Amino acid sequence: MPTDAPTDLLPVWTGLTVASLALFGVVVGLPTGAPDATEPASTVDEVASSSYDASATVSFRTRSRVELRPHGLDRCRGDACAHATFEFGPVVPVAADSSLAAVVAGVAPESVFDSPATLRRAVERARQRAPVVTTTSELHARHISWGEVDVTLVGT
């Protein structure tokens, strides 16, 4: 009985190893379902329910498409989307190119706007716009009170 291994054994094992690694790569790369929308919505609610000026940032492990509305948000990755509703709203979705973006980022509202009335008009315009849609890895929420304006701003 021969004890030598067949000459084609090494190429067969090498081929099986390569095929297994390729299959593993495909499985790891498959989408894992809809991203979590409740965590960012809960963070926005914590800020919005505050009786004083407050802010918070939610960081996502992967970039997501986020659609912000006054009463909720959608978070999507690829074709998978999740929706969450704000308990404390309405909030003000802030586009990255608006004057409110600096306030969401932490700048004092009186440094950006001339008066609380000017801030109120900017808030009203932002609420009347279409939802804010952006691709981001962070979401910022900030509750501010200035004069008679008491509002929660949400943006990237």
In tens digits, the chain (156 residues) has pLDDT values of 556 656 666 666 676 677 776 666 665 555 567 789 999 999 999 999 998 999 999 999 889 999 999 999 999 988 899 999 999 989 999 999 999 999 999 999 999 999 999 999 999 999 988 799 999 999 999 999 999 999 999 998
Q: Are 115 and 121 spatial neighbours (Cβ–Cβ below 8 Å)?
A: no
86: amino acid identity, one letter:
F
- Domain locations in the chain as residue ranges: 38-155
Q: Are 75 and 66 spatial neighbours (Cβ–Cβ below 8 Å)?
A: yes
pTM: predicted TM-score of the whole model, two decimal places:
0.77
Phi, psi at 116, each rounded to 5°: -60, -30
Q: Per residue in 102-126, pLDDT tens?
A: 999 999 999 999 999 999 999 999 9
Secondary structure letter of residue 7 according to DSSP: T
Pairwise CA distance, residues 120 & 133, whole Å: 22
